[in-house]
Amino acid sequence: MTPGRYAGRSKKFSEIATRVCNWGRWGADDQLGTLNLIDDEARRRAVACVRSGRAVALGLELSETRGIQAGIIPGRINPLRTMTHLNTPLSEDPEWICSNEDVVVMGTQSATHWDALSHVSYGGLLYNGHPATSVTARGASRCGIDLVRTLVSRGVLLDVARAKGVEVLEAGYAIRPEDLDAACELGRCEVQSGDVVLVRTGQMLHLALRHPALGQAAGTSSGSGPSAESSAPPARRDPVRYAWPSPGLTMDTAEWFWSHDVAAVATDTLPLEVFPCEEPETFLPVHLLHIVEMGMTQGQNWVLDELADQCADDGAYTFLLDATPLPFADGTGSPLNPVALK
Amino acid sequence: MTPGRYAGRSKKFSEIATRVCNWGRWGADDQLGTLNLIDDEARRRAVACVRSGRAVALGLELSETRGIQAGIIPGRINPLRTMTHLNTPLSEDPEWICSNEDVVVMGTQSATHWDALSHVSYGGLLYNGHPATSVTARGASRCGIDLVRTLVSRGVLLDVARAKGVEVLEAGYAIRPEDLDAACELGRCEVQSGDVVLVRTGQMLHLALRHPALGQAAGTSSGSGPSAESSAPPARRDPVRYAWPSPGLTMDTAEWFWSHDVAAVATDTLPLEVFPCEEPETFLPVHLLHIVEMGMTQGQNWVLDELADQCADDGAYTFLLDATPLPFADGTGSPLNPVALK
Amino acid sequence: MTPGRYAGRSKKFSEIATRVCNWGRWGADDQLGTLNLIDDEARRRAVACVRSGRAVALGLELSETRGIQAGIIPGRINPLRTMTHLNTPLSEDPEWICSNEDVVVMGTQSATHWDALSHVSYGGLLYNGHPATSVTARGASRCGIDLVRTLVSRGVLLDVARAKGVEVLEAGYAIRPEDLDAACELGRCEVQSGDVVLVRTGQMLHLALRHPALGQAAGTSSGSGPSAESSAPPARRDPVRYAWPSPGLTMDTAEWFWSHDVAAVATDTLPLEVFPCEEPETFLPVHLLHIVEMGMTQGQNWVLDELADQCADDGAYTFLLDATPLPFADGTGSPLNPVALK
Amino acid sequence: MTPGRYAGRSKKFSEIATRVCNWGRWGADDQLGTLNLIDDEARRRAVACVRSGRAVALGLELSETRGIQAGIIPGRINPLRTMTHLNTPLSEDPEWICSNEDVVVMGTQSATHWDALSHVSYGGLLYNGHPATSVTARGASRCGIDLVRTLVSRGVLLDVARAKGVEVLEAGYAIRPEDLDAACELGRCEVQSGDVVLVRTGQMLHLALRHPALGQAAGTSSGSGPSAESSAPPARRDPVRYAWPSPGLTMDTAEWFWSHDVAAVATDTLPLEVFPCEEPETFLPVHLLHIVEMGMTQGQNWVLDELADQCADDGAYTFLLDATPLPFADGTGSPLNPVALK
């Protein structure tokens, strides 16, 4: 299992990595990691959560002018959608059928997305020991996002912000296992094997999102419930402030996810983990624990405010979640519009 | 309601258009059309269909080299995914975290997709009388795809090919209402208000798809059931032949969809409707009946072979379908990876 | 000639527009405007300027991370170049030929560029009365950049900054005809029919460019000559400050260009004209005078610092200029890398 | 100099490579190769060729629908230009300034282009021994196209097709050194150190180009001169036939270019070299001789027909050539629109 892999790494990282490593757990050739924990039974359990039939979309609007990328990460360009047909007659009669079509260019990680297990490596190795060199200019010949044929399971919202009674966790707040437990308690739910866990920090307050269909600010609508008492500043769109400093997950929580056999995790932040990072010399350790050691698929920039309001309203923090990525051949991630069905 | 709108149109088109027109049905400002037929009750009905918990993805792989566009429609380029990060160190230690990221450029209608109600117009009008000029270079300010917040309902597979005992409908086969009824009978199901109907022709035989997770040809696996007896030629990848001539829906079937209060329709073909078209002088009439007159969202290039095999195996042709588009702001369509949960 | 075209426009704009209008001057169908002033004789005159054989490139480096667009103008994305081949073996022997190739996405106006005569219109009309509706989603069917087959002529540098003894003109400095005359005097040259005039403001100080081949800052090298005495702040890359406030051309100078029969004009600024604009209610009037009224092609973001240093050194402010655009079919502009040969 | 570099290569390749290798000739760190042969004197010599002042553009039109890529080389997509502004009002008055802008996505090698010296490698080495690994997902940190600040020199047209009295060389015709000598004789010119050589095969007959400004077919206009007698079939656009089989340069001609100290070479074909290749087991050997061994920049898909007609008319086969690439930072090639000034 490559015991010397942690040589030179921080004590904390090495100890946790040793405990949560899933290499070989699903065979030497496995490329799916903890998604193996999702089976028909898990999906039936998800279906059993549905009560009202209400559906909530969790994807950010895909827009150039309102995109969340602020030029911090090279290449992650906001979605630029342009028209290839615009009121273009398709026949000789200009009064007959005219069509509109568009083309888009976007970073696959630029908005609400999954990172594939091919997204990060260290020491030359991806999850399960697949060589980092298996990713080339043609894409990820190992652990590509298209191997995730479907991603449907029970979703559990852990509303850490609400559990702490704030609209948004403070800048750089380091989420601890106790915070996750407290959120479970708020939701009166228990995380089970194969669940997909959504951790809410409230950080999208800084994006001043509007619910397009409702024409109202998310910050406003999420003002109900415990957060109503908070004295958060009025929402103002600030993508840089959204990006960082950011509350987020810590190395210790990797063990929590591992011991609960979580299938995948997503948050309403850009880096997912607390940023700046816990140890100055250990950059983005939670990425490596999740993706490389555990083989756990990570989601970022998920819109959780409307869902959180609904969960607070009906008291049910579990739901059927469809978070199937787009099948980009050999892709290292995928935009998606996840849907929670309650 | 613009009675003179059909002046100069073919008799058949005008008569059907008059009968199926939904303008004003959900208010003068409505931009969702028949998707209004999907409500919580419809989604609960969908959930009630789930038995095994098996999930099937219906989206084509997104690939440049295996993309289905053959240059016939200007601007519909196949997905070109390139790397922006490739084993790129994110810290000063090259042995620590390295990342892989990608960017994609693609026609939103180039693979498995929904067409928004802003996709086509005629006589200067979109669905419900919205002006065609409301679509500009910035996109569709009316009837944009992002208005479809979620698209989850009961899905019904109408396997017309299997009902006729063939692997693929013959070139240019015009699907009639009777064919849809026969497929309902095969599936022992009844289409209800708010259902999303998937019409299978078998046309993707010409794409010689492989089920990526299975490593086998779709043509082969769909060989079980009635089609096994057919003497279809061995599958060979031919995107031009896939495009046309194509079996597909006819004007008459628009009335069938209208009378059954279908919420949306998708097929496993490129044009959706029979192509070449029914009347030489009436180009793509089914597009206009569905999208402009009825306000019914259309899907194309859906992969239905694996789903069809499963339906044939378990005898259940209804399922929970999540076909939520990506929220492209003001977009005229969206790629997606629909999921059927059985 | 549409005399009522100026109804409702500012007095100043209308008066100048009336005087500089070139509609019909080269025929009712003309799409080239003042580029018609360039002929073989003008090119021979340009060739006659060459002394040393030294060549200077005037194009900004095309880069995402060092691009000059700061998100102010929707859709003008910085050049994003990614690899499609990366050390990719082209034969079965991995030790034999491996190739590297790239693909780029960029706004055609995002860096050093020409605006085609189809770039702007007002009152529904392009230059020479061509209808604005002749530009569609397919591009400019009139006045496309590809009609400019070549653009080679005598170039004249009008170094307004140096003539005023400053490294950069002050924020929002409005260049007057007298400034152009003073720059001619500095250069001891006279602008002639068919010349391409390059107006230097020094504004690229705010981009802190480095001459890639030289490894030194442009701000430094342009410190020689009169500007050495200036007390300009040390160069710091600030694309927003580069964009505006910006020194630039004024309406009055349009008459100067017209009376000198200038073929095309370019500057080292983003808006070309003074910004904020001269009259609050008249937005970008110089664009309309140049492009629509005169049919004069405009260039923006040209790198003039190195050229200016050389002109100051050898005292010759005229040169052979090749500023031929890329032939984008029906394009409304083109990136280019102009070359001055001295 | 890595003498063992040719181990295992074909005898012919190894012998020629040994003779033409320029590694170290311009220093151990050189990244420009034979472009070092262009100096002020070479440019003055180029200027001295100009007689009439006539300018000819040599770039293919950049178009999706008329692009020359036929899907043979993955990632080399034809230029797709779409509008980001389309008659878009820039102020509150819709009758005042409206703008049109576009964005383009294209393979940098998809039309008329230069290949940078970073385009190909073998045995892990680029030109001059730079490691192939110096090219990463961020681009070519060695031998990037942006290092070519300007590329202006004397151009020499070697019209091999005309010298042989044919409109187009026959399929797979292998151009020999004698053919180049014969073309020099036709042009009554001698190739000198620092010249850029353009080799014409007539292969663009298969593209059925039209001169956009002239509205006539290139095949027609190139019918004057010796080729008029040929019985070439009428031009028909066939990008696949254009791509191959293709007449082109052979390994032996590398020595010819080396002994004449040619600075750069371009042809009117897609592969530049004869294709299929001379030796079945040696794929694209001329690429490796030119780019890796000699450090000679290569150009492909140059439009030479109109230039050839003019050279035949006035008898002058030398001219001032500006073939400066776009400065893509770390790019491996660049589209361009070269200009010959006669």
Query: What is the nearest CA distance from C136 to chain B, expressed in angstroms?
Result: 9
Say yes or no for a CB contact (<8 Å) between B121 and A98.
Answer: yes
Q: Which of D55, D76, D133 sits opposite C43 (nearest CB)?
A: D55
What is the identity of the amino acid at B165?
G
DSSP string for residues in A138-180? TEESSS-GGG----EEEEEEEEHHHHTT-SSPPTT-EE-HHHH
The number of C-beta contacts closer than 8 angstroms across A and B is 297
Q: What is the mean pLDDT of residues B143-147?
A: 98
pLDDT at site B218: 34
Say yes or no for a CB contact (<8 Å) between C137 and A86.
Answer: yes
Residue to substitute from D66, D76, D77, D237, interface B, most B β-carbons within 10 A: D77
Work out the percent of chain A whose per-residue pLDDT is above 70.
Answer: 92
Q: Which of C64, C77, C83 sits opposite A137 (nearest CB)?
A: C83
Q: How confident is the model at residue B236 (pLDDT cuts 50, 70, 90)?
A: confident
Q: Which of B65, B84, B138 sits opposite D74 (nearest CB)?
A: B65
For residue C67, pLDDT beyond 80: yes
N residues, chain D: 342
Closest CA to C46 of C338, C304, C333, C308: C338
Measured between CA atoms, the residue of chain C closest to residue A65 is C74
Say yes or no for a CB contact (<8 Å) between B77 and D80.
Answer: yes
Query: What is the nearest CA distance from B190 to chain D, expressed in angstroms?
Result: 45
Largest CA-CA distance found in chain A, in angstroms, rounded: 73
**Residues C79-128: tens digit of each pLDDT:** 999 999 999 999 999 999 999 999 999 999 999 999 999 999 999 999 99
pLDDT at site D3: 54
Say yes or no for a CB contact (<8 Å) between C84 and B86.
Answer: no
What is the identity of the amino acid at C211?
H
Phi first, then psi, for residue C56 (nearest 5°) are -130, 130
**Residues B22-44: tens digit of each pLDDT:** 999 999 999 999 999 999 999 99
**Residues A3-60: tens digit of each pLDDT:** 578 988 999 999 999 999 999 999 999 999 999 999 999 999 999 999 999 999 999 9
Least confident of A195-199, A229-233, D225-229: D225-229
Q: What is the mean pLDDT of residues A125-134?
A: 98
Query: Bigger pLDDT: D236 or B130?
Result: B130
Closest CA to A124 of A332, A292, A333, A329: A292
C-alpha distance from residue A265 to each of A254, B200, C40, C179, C194 (Å): 10, 35, 68, 63, 65
DSSP string for residues in A271-337? SSB-BS-SBTTB-SHHHIIIIIII--EEEES---HHHHHHHHHH---EEEEE-PPP-BTT-SEEE--
Q: Which helix (H) or strand (E) holds B264?
A: strand B264-267
Q: How confident is the model at residue A215 (pLDDT cuts 50, 70, 90)?
A: very low
Beta-carbon count within 10 A of C19 CB? 13
For residue C212, pLDDT beyond 50: no
Q: Which of D86, D140, D337 sits opposite C137 (nearest CB)?
A: D86
Q: How confident is the model at residue B340 (pLDDT cuts 50, 70, 90)?
A: very high
Say yes or no for a CB contact (<8 Å) between C101 and D84.
Answer: no
Q: Which residues of C239-270 are buried (b: 16+ CB within 10 A; e: fewer)?
A: bebbbbebbbbbbbbbbbbbebebbbbbbbbb
Phi first, then psi, for residue A251 (nearest 5°) are -55, -40
Q: Under 8 Å CB-to-CB from C252, ≥6 apart: which residues? A: C16, C176, C177
Whole-number Å distance between alpha carbons of B1 and B21: 9
Q: How confident is the model at residue B235 (pLDDT cuts 50, 70, 90)?
A: low
**Residues D83-127: tens digit of each pLDDT:** 999 999 999 999 999 999 999 999 999 999 999 999 999 999 999
DSSP string for residues in A109-120? TSSSEEEPTTSE
pLDDT at site C235: 66
**Residues A172-188: tens digit of each pLDDT:** 999 999 999 999 999 99
**Residues D44-71: tens digit of each pLDDT:** 999 999 999 999 999 999 999 999 999 8
**Residues D127-178: tens digit of each pLDDT:** 999 999 999 999 999 999 999 999 999 999 999 999 999 999 999 999 999 9
* Tokens read off for B292: 């402009």
For residue D211, pLDDT beyond 90: no
C-alpha distance from residue A274 to each of A245, A252, C81 (Å): 8, 12, 31
Say yes or no for a CB contact (<8 Å) between B120 and A104.
Answer: no
Phi and psi based region of residue D269 (left: phi greater than 0; alpha: psi -120 to 50; beta: remaining): beta
Measured between CA atoms, the residue of chain D closest to residue C334 is D102
pLDDT at site C232: 47
B137 contact residues in C (CB cutoff 8 A): 137
Q: How confident is the model at residue B290 (pLDDT cuts 50, 70, 90)?
A: very high
Whole-number Å distance between alpha carbons of A323 and A334: 11
Query: What is the nearest CA distance from A137 to chain D, expressed in angstroms?
Result: 7
**Residues A265-280: tens digit of each pLDDT:** 999 999 999 999 999 9
Q: Which of C61, C108, C324 sits opposite D329 (nearest CB)?
A: C61
Q: What is the mean pLDDT of chain C?
A: 92
Measured between CA atoms, the residue of chain A closest to residue C71 is A65
Whole-number Å distance between alpha carbons of A160 and A170: 11
What value of ipTM does the predicted structure carry?
0.93
C-alpha distance from residue C82 to each of A68, A137, B2, D106 (Å): 21, 9, 51, 11
Give partners of C (≥3 CB pairs < 8 A).
Answer: A, B, D
Q: Which of B86, B103, B105 sits opposite C86 (nearest CB)?
A: B86
For residue C223, pLDDT beyond 60: no
**Bridge partners (DSSP) listed for residue C199:** C158, C267
**Residues on B contacting C at a C-beta cutoff of 8 Å:** 74, 80, 82-84, 86, 103, 105, 137-138
**Bridge partners (DSSP) listed for residue C279:** C282
Q: What is the mean pLDDT of chain B?
A: 92
Between helix D251-259 and helix D177-187 the angle, nearest 10°, is: 50
Q: Which of B64, B84, B137 sits opposite D83 (nearest CB)?
A: B137
Give partners of A (≥3 CB pairs < 8 A).
Answer: B, C, D
Query: What is the nearest CA distance from D84 to chain B, expressed in angstroms?
Result: 6
* Tokens read off for C232: 């300009």
Residue to substitute from C76, C82, C87, interface B, most B β-carbons within 10 A: C82
* Tokens read off for A278: 């816990």
Whole-number Å distance between alpha carbons of A63 and B14: 38
Say yes or no for a CB contact (<8 Å) between D64 and B74.
Answer: yes
C105 contact residues in B (CB cutoff 8 A): 105
D123 contact residues in C (CB cutoff 8 A): 95
What is the identity of the amino acid at A245?
P
C136 contact residues in A (CB cutoff 8 A): 86, 88
For residue D1, pLDDT beyond 50: no
Residue to substitute from D65, D76, D82, interface A, most A β-carbons within 10 A: D82
Give partners of D (≥3 CB pairs < 8 A).
Answer: A, B, C
* Tokens read off for B154: 């009961």
pLDDT at site D215: 36
Closest CA to C324 of D81, D148, D204, D325: D325
C320 contact residues in D (CB cutoff 8 A): 47
User: CB-side exposure of C200: number of CA atoms within 13 Å?
Assistant: 35
Q: What is the mean pLDDT of residues B54-75?
A: 95
Query: What is the nearest CA distance from C335 to chain B, expressed in angstroms?
Result: 21
**Residues D268-318: tens digit of each pLDDT:** 999 999 999 999 999 999 999 999 999 999 999 999 999 999 999 999 999
For residue C148, pLDDT beyond 70: yes
**Residues C49-61: tens digit of each pLDDT:** 999 999 999 999 9
Give ∠ CA C263-C265-C266 in degrees, rounded to 5. Answer: 150
Task: Check if the beta carbon of residue D303 is closer than 8 Å to that of residue D268.
Answer: yes
pLDDT at site C210: 66
Q: How confident is the model at residue A236 (pLDDT cuts 50, 70, 90)?
A: confident
Task: Check if the beta carbon of residue B236 is closer than 8 Å to that of residue B302.
Answer: no
- The SS3 of residue B161 is helix
For residue A156, pLDDT beyond 60: yes
Say yes or no for a CB contact (<8 Å) between A65 and C83.
Answer: no
Query: What is the nearest CA distance from C140 to chain A, expressed in angstroms?
Result: 13
Least confident of B187-191, B210-214, B305-309: B210-214
C84 contact residues in A (CB cutoff 8 A): 137
Work out the percent of chain C whose per-residue pLDDT is above 90.
Answer: 89
Q: What is the mean pLDDT of residues B196-205?
A: 98
Q: How confident is the model at residue D210 (pLDDT cuts 50, 70, 90)?
A: low
**Residues A185-201: tens digit of each pLDDT:** 999 999 999 999 999 99
Least confident of B69-73, B268-272, C300-304, D76-80: B69-73
D77 contact residues in B (CB cutoff 8 A): 64, 77, 80
Q: Which of D77, D84, D137 sits opposite B85 (nearest CB)?
A: D137
Measured between CA atoms, the residue of chain A closest to residue B154 is A53
Measured between CA atoms, the residue of chain A closest to residue B136 is A86
Beta-carbon count within 10 A of B202 CB? 29
Say yes or no for a CB contact (<8 Å) between B331 and A41.
Answer: no
B54 contact residues in A (CB cutoff 8 A): 40, 43
